[in-house]
Amino acid sequence: MSDQPTSILPGAGGFGSSEPAKTLPNRRPLAWNPGTDFGLLLLRFAVGGTFFAHGMQKVAGLWGGPGIDGFARVLEGFGFQQTVILAWVTGITEVVGGALVVLGFLTPLAAAGLVGITINAVALRAGNGFFIASPAGAGAVELDVVLGLAAAALTLTGAGRIALDKGRTWNRRPAPWGVLALVIGVVAAVLVLVLLR
Gap between the Cα atoms of 176 and 32, Å rounded = 18
The reported pLDDT for the residue numbered 45 is: 94
- Whole-number pLDDT of residue 116: 92
Please tell me the predicted confidence (pLDDT) of residue 192. Answer: 86
Q: What is the pLDDT of residue 173?
A: 79
Confidence at residue 150, expressed as pLDDT on a 0 to 100 scale: 93
At 96, which amino acid appears?
V
Distances (CA, A) of 90 to 24, 112, 179, 182: 55, 13, 22, 17
Taking the chain (197 residues) in runs of 10, the rounded mean pLDDT of each run is 54 55 71 81 93 90 82 85 88 93 91 92 74 60 88 88 81 82 90 82
Contacts of residue 66, Cβ cutoff 8 Å, sequence gap at least 6: 57, 58, 73, 74
Question: Residue 53's pLDDT is what?
Answer: 93
In DSSP notation, 49-103 reads HHHHHHHHHHHH-GGG--HHHHHHHHHHHTT-SSHHHHHHHHHHHHHHHHHHHHH
pTM, two decimals, is 0.75
Number of Cβ within 10 Å of residue 6's Cβ equals 9
pLDDT at 78 (0 to 100): 82
